[in-house]
Structure 1
Amino acid sequence: MDYAHLGRSGLLVSRIGLGTMNFGDATDEAEAFDVMDRAVELGVNFFDSADVYGGPQTPDMEKGFGTSEEIIGNWLTKSGRRDEIVLATKAYQPMGLGPNDRRLSAYHLKRACEASLRRLQTDHIDLYQMHHVDRATPWDEIWQAMDQLVTEGKITYVGSSNFAGWDIATAQARADARHTLGLVSEQSLYNLTNRAIEQELIPSLRYHGVGLIPWSPLAMGVLAGRPKGEQRTVRRAALSEQFAALSDQLGAYETFCDELGHSPAEIAQAWLLHQPAVSTLIAGSRTVAQLEAAVDALSIDLDTDALAALDRIWPGPGEAPQSYAW
């Protein structure tokens, strides 16, 4: 396993991180335990969750609420491996039907963190991430709440998710004014089919020393390639429209992957690992086999010609303002 600093922090995280959104939903507890055991064996030390993962991600459902964190907590208690992993989770989404059971107010952050700690059966969260930007809450209030959680030893680092470039800049400006570390990571949608963040978010992350954690590296399965044979009955029918819309690009991509001797999924993840801003990528593995396949991407070396070929198939937008102005 390879490791990298999470942004400008001194924290080292595995280049492949384990995403646990499927735990409690597509992956039951027994299989989730197998996946986490294997992750540690492979050297994966970054485990990512969120308070809403494990079900429909809405508080008015009878089940599936916070299940991912509960499964991780059960595994931590059984395995005794808490100190072997960097534990990350998130807050923002509705965790109840009350008006303050969501978003990033100091009121909610305190309660959301304490509830996650109970479900995770631990006394601290290594990386506490804001699941979405909340422009209705002042940054001084957010940072005061986060600083308090750090002081109490409940969290160590703070990260963001689904922020725009100017949100990163604003957050860091207020953190600097308070003489605190601020953000060390941003978790964002990023893959070969969706490179929008290259325009403004990645330059902002680079300037502020914030590490990028891409989610959906396979574009919800599109970059695993078009299903063949028996796979047609396994892969979700919901992807059929995307396969049709991207037919020409996928054809060229699959041919290129065949020439390299690797699967489309492996190349998609290897490409992300070659991007300088990326600290670790989220492999939302439902099974041990999927996790092992993600780790295999670490061994793939894409040279300059290969990266240029992928840029021709899946062109990026370029950096602003040069991407749209002289």
Structure 2
Amino acid sequence: MSENTMDYQHLGRSGLLVSKIGLGCMNFGDATGEPEAFGIMDRAVELGVNFFDTADVYGGPQKPDMEQGFGTSEEIVGKWLKKSGHRDDIVLATKAYQPMGLGPNDRRLSAYHLKRACEASLRRLQTDHIDVYQMHHVDRSTPWEEIWQAMEQLVAEGKITYVGSSNHAGWDVATGQMTATARNTLGLVSEQSLYNLTNRAVEQELIPALEHFGIGLIPWSPLAMGVLAGRPEDGEKTERRALQSDVYDAVADQLDAYESLCAELGHSPAEVAQAWLLHQPVVSTVIAGSRTTAQLEAAVDALHVSLDDSALDELDRIWPGPGTAPMSYSW
């Protein structure tokens, strides 16, 4: 693979340029140990990947009664930043919302929690600022006025630069953005959501909202937990096969058609799945949650896959989307 063949584009309507393939650090500290994580991040920089995405809760069990492992991913990224000296070469994104302790205010999006969560992330990441600070999930029990007051304060203090959301519905994004506009602030620049060929629910209402407000989409799980990487070959390590056996059976006919199309195109199923996302105008960067350097390199290879109208139409036929609301369900 040639070095640094990355393409870049704006994160939503912002002036910030991010690599079309982003590095997801969710596995660091869990499926991927620190030495291998360092190698993956080194390789990412070599390949021109500049968007690194993590979260305060990544790296351990995500249960409110289990604290072990919380913050491990951020800690590993922070150690690498200090050792490598690459802080100014990347766009660093993290998230807050999930439980980070046993107290009633150790979670969600209150101003109380956001302030402490951000400061704790900065300590773990060993940096003085976060480039894109994301709300990991919607919190409808906290008013948007409170959330924006907290985010504006963090921006004013130089602790964060941009604000993104994750796992928000279209009306949540619209409400949040209109509230920010009323406060004369930039508001959201990105939304990170589940989006892949097998799960296109966001096309109904979320994506139209993002397009209207100029908010970039960051898909997570682009390979549908490995399903869109195709069936494991005979003799291949069977961990993924065992994990997804029921899922493979449920979409067997679609997978047959999909794998045949990928063979005709001359690309692997994983490359085609990620290339399809890259062909969606609203997508700013696709998160590659790589557990190994080889997986990261395979994700970057998707940049070189060009899908013509015929291929895109066939992918729509195999994995149909829901259409956009309200036309998708009304006369």
Give the superposition deviation at 1:230.
1.8
Counterparts of 1:7 and 1:65, CA distance in 2: 30
Counterparts of 1:304 and 1:265, CA distance in 2: 19
* SS of residue matched to 2:161: strand
Give the superposition deviation at 1:234.
3.4
Residue number in structure 2 paired with 1:40: 45
Aligned pairs, number: 326
* SS of residue matched to 1:231: coil
Alignment partner of 1:190 is 2:195: yes
* 1:213-267 Cα distance to aligned partner (Å, 9 max, x none): 0000000110000111122523251211100000000010001101111110000
Residue number in structure 2 paired with 1:52: 57
Write the mapping of 1:1-326 to structure 2, written as runs, cut at 5 A.
1-61=6-66, 63-326=68-331
| AA at the equivalent of 2:88 | D
Counterparts of 2:23 and 2:306, CA distance in 1: 22
Counterparts of 1:234 and 1:242, CA distance in 2: 14
Give the superposition deviation at 1:62.
5.2
Structure 2: stretches of 5+ with no match in the other structure = 1-5
Give the superposition deviation at 1:63.
2.5
- The CA RMSD over aligned residues, in Å, is 0.8
Counterparts of 1:16 and 1:57, CA distance in 2: 26
Counterparts of 1:304 and 1:59, CA distance in 2: 47
**Do the aligned residues in 2 keep the contact of 1:223 with 1:265 (CA within 8 Å)?**
yes
Counterparts of 2:56 and 2:282, CA distance in 1: 26
Distance 1:147 1:97, change over 3 A: same
| AA at the equivalent of 2:177 | Q
Moved over 3 A (4+): none
Structure 1: stretches of 5+ with no match in the other structure = none
* SS of residue matched to 1:235: helix
Q: TM-score, normalised by structure 1?
A: 0.99
